[in-house]
């Protein structure tokens, strides 16, 4: 059968009913299983309606992640897995029947493998951390390091390995070589660019001993190491009065979280972070789904 004709205006609860009929007539599932799916998908449909997602145009990956992110945290893992399975089957049915033009639900991480973010700074804490370095040679370098890391979400290895030719100051873009030698282009905010240019003009020449392509140098003129970055971050964390569990990766987590809080599209965050799969990026949706559902253009508090 085909239900695609004129389906855009069909309420989502009606689409659920058609799917349940399909399960009963063509899949031969037990009555108990169908009743469980009916309950799960009925609640899903009610949530979609309440969030103005009623009908086929509103059924997409972002809305589904929004629903899953708002599930009761007390639900057992098996219950969550069943709910995700029901939604995946529903989406697959709609895709096969031509109701939706993309099937993305397989990209949703299963509850059992879902990762947790160990620690994230607030926007105010991130600003306080970045403002700790002084105006001497190393202070200008450190301010540029922190600003650049928070503004781009780079991994520490990417930050320490950043070279001059990968920065486009005019366009405020950085070309990053990430895991598996995959490259991505990431915008860098105005404040970060200003701090970076001040470092390049006033500090880096003092640290330079011989020509090197690396942007961030140690006091011997070589590329700053991950260990050195960790040590300087630890010092500024203490000076800012931030929790000691703040690590170099905390700035990357905070970058992504603050984008989501600002309304960033999940796929944009995936691209900025250099994640191969959106399932990896999905961990950030649990932090503030209320903002994610707005699906605004990419925004960053220090952009």
Catalytic residue list: 155, 179, 249, 252, 275, 284
Q: What angle do CA 266, 270, 275 make, to 5 degrees?
A: 150
On the CB side of 11, CA atoms within 13 Å amount to 10
User: What is the C-alpha separation between 158 and 284, in angstroms, rounded?
Assistant: 21
Nearest to 254 by CA among 276, 237, 231, 278: 237
**Token pair in block for residue 180:** 């598996």
The whole-angstrom separation of Cα 101 and Cα 16 is 17
Asked if 269 and 259 touch (Cβ cutoff 8 Å), the reply is yes
DSSP assignment letter at 109: P
φ, ψ of residue 174 to 5 degrees: the values are -125, 130
Instruction: Show the CA angle centred on residue 108, arms to residues 107 and 111, nearest 5°.
Output: 145
* Contacts with 178 (C-beta within 8 Å, 6 or more apart), sequence order: 155, 158, 184, 274
Using CA atoms, how far apart are residues 30 and 20, in angstroms rounded to an integer?
A: 11
């Amino acid at each position: 059968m085909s239900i695609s004709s004129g389906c855009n205006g069909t309420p989502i609860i009606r689409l659920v009913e058609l799917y349940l009929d399909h399960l009963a007539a063509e899949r031969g599932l037990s009555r108990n299983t169908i009743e469980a799916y009916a309950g799960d998908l009925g609640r899903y449909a009610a949530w979609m309606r309440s969030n103005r997602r009623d009908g086929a145009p509103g059924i997409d990956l972002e809305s589904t992640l929004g629903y899953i992110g708002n599930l009761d945290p007390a639900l057992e893992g098996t219950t969550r897995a069943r709910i995700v399975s029901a939604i995946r089957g529903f989406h697959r049915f709609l895709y096969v029947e031509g109701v939706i033009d993309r099937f993305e639900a397989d990209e949703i991480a299963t509850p059992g493998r879902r990762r947790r973010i160990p620690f994230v700074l607030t926007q105010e804490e991130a600003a306080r951390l970045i403002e700790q370095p002084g105006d001497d040679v190393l202070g200008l370098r450190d301010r540029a390091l922190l600003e650049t890391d928070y503004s781009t979400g780079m991994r520490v290895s990417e930050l320490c390995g950043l070279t001059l030719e990968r920065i486009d100051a005019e366009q405020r873009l950085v070309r990053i070589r990430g895991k598996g030698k995959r490259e991505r282009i990431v915008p860098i905010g105005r404040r970060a660019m200003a701090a970076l240019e001040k470092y390049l003009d006033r500090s880096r020449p003092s640290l330079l001993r011989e020509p090197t392509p690396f942007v961030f140098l140690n006091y011997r003129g070589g590329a700053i190491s991950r260990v050195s970055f960790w040590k300087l971050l630890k010092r500024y964390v203490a000076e800012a009065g931030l929790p000691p569990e703040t690590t170099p990766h905390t700035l990357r987590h905070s970058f992504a979280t603050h984008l989501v809080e600002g309304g960033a599209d999940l796929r944009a965050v995936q691209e900025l972070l250099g994640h191969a799969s959106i399932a990896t990026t999905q961990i950030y949706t649990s932090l503030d789904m209320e903002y994610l559902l707005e699906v605004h253009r990419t925004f960053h508090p220090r952009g």
